[in-house]
Structure 1
Amino acid sequence: MIPESFIQELLNRVDIVDVVDKSVPLKKAGANYSACCPFHNEKSPSFTVSPTKQFYHCFGCGAHGTAIGFLMEYAGLSFVEAVQDLAKNVGMIVPQETRDPDKLPQKTVVGLQEALQQAANYYKSELKKSERAIAYLKARGLSGHIAAKFQIGYAPAGWQNLQTVFPQYENEALTVAGLVVTNEQGKRYDRFRDRIMFPIHDQKGQVIGFGGRVINPEDTPKYYNSPETPLFQKGHELYGLFVARRAIRDAGRALVVEGYMDVVALAQYGIEYAVAALGTATTPFHITKLMRQTDEIVFSFDGDNAGRTAAWRAAMNALPALSDGLKLRFLFLPKEHDPDSYVREFGKEAFEREMQQAMPLSQYIIQHLSEENPLNSQEDKVKFLNDAEPILKLITAPRFALLLRKRVAELAQVTPQEMQSMLRLPAPNKIVPKAAVRQMRTPISIKKRFVLMLLMQPQLASSEHLAFAQTSHEEDVLLRIVVNAALMQPQSKPATLLHSIAPHVDARLLNEIQRELHLLDESLDIPLEFSGACTQLRDMMADVRDSHLLNLLKEKPLTLLTDEERALLKKLTVKR
């Protein structure tokens, strides 16, 4: 593990403008630099890089982060690779731990992510020892390079193999992480046994869950996923996205398939821009996540009835997330094939030719609605409109909605106006564009304002400022953490401080602070703003103290008050 102190020093040494400019040419724009966002297609620049704050931020798609985060997002590097790349550029040597790679660390689990990473390391080491598991992967056409790229492993047969990794096998973190199961008799055992293991990564490359596939065809279920945990929500994550990000941007499209084996088999044949949903239908969250990488998404499902059902469900779930300019297409392979078997039999070029013929979403919707409806009789057309109504109401992309409505009205032989009135559809031009939402900002509290000023100039921090945090409220917790970080790192850049406090602050609150920091006017007189915030916070503390004292005085009978207390009561009453 790379020491946290080294990462903080590295972020203080690198200049994010130089890092980004190597890949995305930047232009000076006031105090910042700007460019068209490399993470989504746009015509007007909304991507900014701040040399003062050492952040990048896109006001279009919301992408943001430090120099490390940029290399991970843009170049598809892992966290360690990004740190090594940056360190090399500034002449720093990354501290390395020397350890026998075949000897797994024996340590107490201290958190979910660490438990999952230790398990992933164990499964990878076990794959090297299992000739049966290796033979299975080779039979599926997978090379050692692809297995390593996706960090594929093997969970051996047996009930408590993970006890060799986690001496404290009773640790509740193992259950919460989905690695260990407790039966009705209270016996604990490994969730995954005798399965090929596919680690699931988040956007930072950290392991957040697993998918396990059987080797023995008689075992069930065929695929077995980690349960939902605080780190892993199936409806939000896509298998293979962390590995595929760069390839998706290079190809200009993302391919969504049904299973892990489809993803790795396609990668083996050079189609490295595939991802898979995790035991659930494609959701609007998946679409939104992919839209940050590309504006073309192709769904490829098995050619059987189950595959077609999954495709229609994916289409319907995608509708709320649609935006004008996003291209969704659907590829249906022959019934006897899935992407894995098709690419192995016919190769990359044949599969990509099939992709070029994939059906656009609008055509797919019309085909699905009319495939069992000849539209000959009046009753046929009524059914057609009834079936189309809930679909049309789900679509919020104005231009796409307008054109699809015209086509539906044409097939039903009514005018668009008649159909809109009959189905009570909202007028497409009345749909509020998402950009309008961005104009609405809630003023931040004085404590958050104080935090922002301190992140900008940590040398302003004093231990006396800890008195501003009197409670366990999240803002007080944040204030204490930031003050302590600033005292320890008075010369650090904003990006470095944010990185250091990230593990200790609620993710939602941290994202809010990051967003406000991006929007902060860099022409402000920070020391003056900070002094003003301190004055307000001291006044707030005095008000709280006076209110408490006033309540204490009111609780005593007037006849029992001393002269000093009566004078104080009068003074506090007048003041309020």
Structure 2
Amino acid sequence: MSLPPNFLDELRTRTSLTQVAGRKVMWDARKSNQGKGDMWASCPFHQEKSASFHVDDRKGYYYCFGCHAKGDAISFVRETENVDFMEAVRILAGEAGMQMPERDPQAQAKADRNTQLVEVMEQAVRFFRMQLKTSAGADARDYLAGRKLSEGTQEQFEIGFAPDAWQGLWDHLVQANVAPELILECGLAKPSQKGGKPYDTFRGRIMFPIRDARGRCIAFGGRAMDPNDNAKYLNSPETPLFDKSRTLYNHGPARTAAGKGQPLIVAEGYMDVIALSVAGFEASVAPLGTAVTEHQLQMMWRVADEPIIALDGDTAGLRAAHRVIDIALPLLEAGKSLRFAIMPEGQDPDDLLQAKGAKALQALLDDALPMVQLLWQRETEGRVYDSPERKAALDKALREKIKLIVDPSIRGHYGQAIKDLRWELFRTKRTGGPVGGAGRGNYSSNYSGNFGGKFKQRIEPARASTRTSLLAASDEMAHIRLREAVILASLILNPSVLVEFEADIEAMRCNSPDYARLRDLILRYADTGPDQLRMQIEQEFGVAELETLLALPHVALAPPVRNPGDEELARQTIPEELAKLEAHYGLQTEIMEAEEDMSGIADEAVTWRLGQAAEASHKATRSQQEDRTEYERADNGADLSRDERERFGALLDKISFSKPRRH
């Protein structure tokens, strides 16, 4: 059975020799350079101690400097698995997700036919090159000079010109004894609908030969010289040689340059690729007038692990980048990803190089965004998340995208990265920044930090003695900080209930910088589980600080802290404490507004408002769970449960016997 040459070419393109050989050898980490596809190991074909077996993954060949064994992925499978050629191909095709072609007795005839088509295409390249040098190509030469393409560059990329004539190329090829059916099959001409002589596909255009990875001309791209032409760029139609969804412009030279360590850059068009190559970025390719396809992504990853998508800085360029993300997500593998360099608004890589040079472009490439960052920007940019419903919609949209990732490890890392970005977004909201809209309140003015979307300085945690002194605090905010401590401790020991109160906790004012930091840690890590949450808090907040918080008497007596894991108690306690905090702030607001009103003419409305606010505060303070409780009035005027006061005294006595009382 004969196989079509195109099938074997695609199989070799899809197959990583490093992965195939890696099943049989152990790579030498000291000599190998995986980023460049330069791998070394002890030879599997003979006994040796040194690493003389070399794989060039870019070119797809191996060679042993000891026994001189050499070949490609197919020959490697044949030798190591002891199978014949067709079975080796079948094994690799199955791994690459390719279906073996049906038995075709005419396969050799098709291969010979394709060879003839390639010869016709090469004649067309020479014809277009010749026409560029004639008087008919004067305007095309002026245009190329205006784009700063030297004659050497034009020669390197074999740029030509198709004269504005109906049968210019047709007549030339027919006179060279090329069969008319070959010209039509190459897509160089189209049959007349009026029964006349076929006419040239390309007329009045600057011509760019499109070559496959083996360097064969398989198609053309043409740029119209007439600004009023309906199609600015025109590619060859699909032919036995050309499938635009499986082809990259400048594929072969870019693969060679990437093998020497250059980053693979994916631009939008021919001129961008040429400009990049002239500027020293030789590992540059472009899709052919369509969005990047799955096949093209696989081809890119075969050349480089992390291609940089450099698209135009306009709405169309961003849309194209977003389409690439959706195509790439299901295909991601460990070590295979994309980065995105978005050009300045209204510019493409060629424009940027002309205006600011290679250093400006290199700076953009160095700052290229990882794919997860662009995904986040797409879902959040220009939107305000000032309600639970909007936040839920964001979470749902991102979950749907992350589900597309097949690899479970990558899916998990994407989930964590999205969670970190979400935390940053809503942390900015809580610290008073503009992102995400305004919440119910920002941090208290006691929060000594400098914000602008990110922390400008690190806030040192308060000492344990300072936090313990909270019990002795006599200012009017002491009981507020006590309630905050109960809420935070309840969440630390019962993190699964956070989802029910997340919006309220995000908006909760914290009158201590340490409690604000602790609240943010809970929001960030609560869904990792109690053990992981506690570990993160101990690492970022401090072991001693956390133990001091949980040991505070008023915290230790709280039902959710006394009974960790009892979610029902946490569900009762947390909303009550939040309501008490809210009632307090409401009363304080009324008092401040009343003071302002009384500076003018006081009336009964002021008294009524204060009374209503005080009553609301009193109702919130006395929860439903406390309705049947006996209270005593403390020295500071607060109502204390007699039962809890007795238990509190007993706990203090117990502490005093076990260790010295802190002062």
In which range does the TM-score fall when normalised by the shorter chain? Answer: 0.5 to 0.7
Does the CA contact (< 8 Å) of 1:254 and 1:273 recur in 2?
yes
- Other-structure match for 1:176: 185
CA RMSD between the two structures? 3.4
- Other-structure match for 1:161: 168
Deviation at 1:237, TM superposition (A): 0.7
Deviation at 1:331, TM superposition (A): 1.1
Q: How far apart, in 2, do the equivalents of 1:36 and 1:399 lie?
A: 30
- Other-structure match for 2:320: 310
Cα-to-partner distance string for 1:290-329 (whole Å, 9 max, x where unaligned) = 2122112111111111111111111211223221212411
Q: 1:49 to 1:214 in 2, by over 3 A?
A: farther
- Other-structure match for 1:128: 133
Q: How far apart, in 2, do the equivalents of 1:395 and 1:57 lie?
A: 28
User: Which of 355, 372, 375 in structure 2 is aligned with 1:345?
Assistant: 355
Q: How far apart, in 1, do the equivalents of 2:352 and 2:77 lie?
A: 35
Does the CA contact (< 8 Å) of 1:343 and 1:351 recur in 2?
yes
- Other-structure match for 2:72: 56
Does the CA contact (< 8 Å) of 2:61 and 2:70 recur in 1?
no
SS of aligned partner of 1:154: strand
SS of aligned partner of 1:228: coil
- Other-structure match for 1:233: 243
Letter in 1 for 2:190: V
Deviation at 1:26, TM superposition (A): 6.3
- Other-structure match for 1:365: 375
- Other-structure match for 1:480: none
User: Which of 326, 329, 347 in structure 1 is aligned with 2:336?
Assistant: 326
- Other-structure match for 1:395: 405
Does the CA contact (< 8 Å) of 2:42 and 2:53 recur in 1?
no
SS of aligned partner of 1:227: coil
Q: How far apart, in 1, do the equivalents of 2:405 and 2:360 lie?
A: 33
Cα-to-partner distance string for 1:402-454 (whole Å, 9 max, x where unaligned) = 11123445639998xx9xxxxxxxxxxxxxxxxxxxxxxxxxxxxxxxxxxxx
Structure number with larger C-alpha Rg: 2
Deviation at 1:153, TM superposition (A): 1.1
- Runs of 4 or more, structure 1, over 4 Å off, are 23-28, 32-36, 45-54, 58-62, 412-415
Does the CA contact (< 8 Å) of 2:160 and 2:207 recur in 1?
yes
Cα-to-partner distance string for 1:496-550 (whole Å, 9 max, x where unaligned) = xxxxxxxxxxxxxxxxxxxxxxxxxxxxxxxxxxxxxxxxxxxxxxxxxxxxxxx
Does the CA contact (< 8 Å) of 1:178 and 1:229 recur in 2?
yes
- Other-structure match for 1:469: none
Does the CA contact (< 8 Å) of 1:253 and 1:295 recur in 2?
no
Q: 1:171 to 1:389 in 2, by over 3 A?
A: farther
Q: 1:186 to 1:139 in 2, by over 3 A?
A: same
- Other-structure match for 2:658: none
- Other-structure match for 1:29: 43
Letter in 2 for 1:258: E
Deviation at 1:110, TM superposition (A): 7.6
Q: How far apart, in 1, do the equivalents of 2:75 and 2:408 lie?
A: 21
User: Which of 49, 56, 77 in structure 2 is aligned with 1:38?
Assistant: 56
Does the CA contact (< 8 Å) of 1:252 and 1:294 recur in 2?
no
1:150 aligns with 2:160: no
SS of aligned partner of 2:221: strand
Letter in 2 for 1:55: G
Cα-to-partner distance string for 1:344-373 (whole Å, 9 max, x where unaligned) = 111111111111111110111111111143
SS of aligned partner of 1:277: coil
Letter in 2 for 1:29: C
- Other-structure match for 1:272: 282
- Other-structure match for 1:138: 145
- Other-structure match for 1:116: 121
User: Which of 208, 215, 224 in structure 2 is aligned with 1:205?
Assistant: 215
1:292 aligns with 2:299: no
Deviation at 1:61, TM superposition (A): 13
Deviation at 1:166, TM superposition (A): 2.5
Does the CA contact (< 8 Å) of 2:117 and 2:186 recur in 1?
yes
Does the CA contact (< 8 Å) of 1:34 and 1:46 recur in 2?
no
Gap runs ≥5 in structure 2: 1-36, 79-112, 427-494, 500-663
Q: How far apart, in 1, do the equivalents of 2:368 and 2:276 lie?
A: 17
Q: How far apart, in 1, do the equivalents of 2:142 and 2:352 lie?
A: 21
Cα-to-partner distance string for 1:383-405 (whole Å, 9 max, x where unaligned) = 22332244223212333211112
Q: 1:184 to 1:310 in 2, by over 3 A?
A: same
Q: How far apart, in 2, do the equivalents of 1:37 and 1:54 lie?
A: 9
Deviation at 1:336, TM superposition (A): 2.2
Q: How far apart, in 1, do the equivalents of 2:216 and 2:115 lie?
A: 16
Q: State how 1:529-568 maps to structure 2 within 5 Å.
A: none
- Other-structure match for 1:258: 268
- Other-structure match for 1:447: none
Does the CA contact (< 8 Å) of 1:117 and 1:207 recur in 2?
yes
- Other-structure match for 1:558: none
Q: How far apart, in 2, do the equivalents of 1:313 and 1:34 lie?
A: 44
SS of aligned partner of 2:259: helix
Q: 1:35 to 1:349 in 2, by over 3 A?
A: farther
Q: 1:335 to 1:173 in 2, by over 3 A?
A: same
Does the CA contact (< 8 Å) of 1:49 and 1:55 recur in 2?
no
Deviation at 1:48, TM superposition (A): 5.6
- Work out the percentage of aligned pairs sharing the same amino acid: 33
Q: How far apart, in 2, do the equivalents of 1:407 and 1:198 lie?
A: 42
Letter in 1 for 2:184: T
Gap runs ≥5 in structure 1: 1-22, 63-107, 419-576
Does the CA contact (< 8 Å) of 1:257 and 1:275 recur in 2?
yes
Does the CA contact (< 8 Å) of 1:109 and 1:171 recur in 2?
no
Q: 1:30 to 1:247 in 2, by over 3 A?
A: closer
Range with greater deviation from structure 2 (53-62 or 285-294) = 53-62
SS of aligned partner of 1:238: coil
Does the CA contact (< 8 Å) of 1:202 and 1:242 recur in 2?
yes
Does the CA contact (< 8 Å) of 2:258 and 2:303 recur in 1?
yes
Q: 1:46 to 1:118 in 2, by over 3 A?
A: closer
SS of aligned partner of 1:251: coil
SS of aligned partner of 1:331: strand
Q: How far apart, in 1, do the equivalents of 2:155 and 2:405 lie?
A: 41
Letter in 2 for 1:281: A
- Size of the alignment, in residue pairs? 347
Q: How far apart, in 1, do the equivalents of 2:54 and 2:407 lie?
A: 23
SS of aligned partner of 1:337: coil
Deviation at 1:218, TM superposition (A): 2.4
Deviation at 1:272, TM superposition (A): 1.2
Does the CA contact (< 8 Å) of 2:313 and 2:348 recur in 1?
yes
Range with greater deviation from structure 2 (180-189 or 328-337) = 180-189
Range with greater deviation from structure 2 (169-178 or 129-138) = 169-178
Deviation at 1:216, TM superposition (A): 2.7
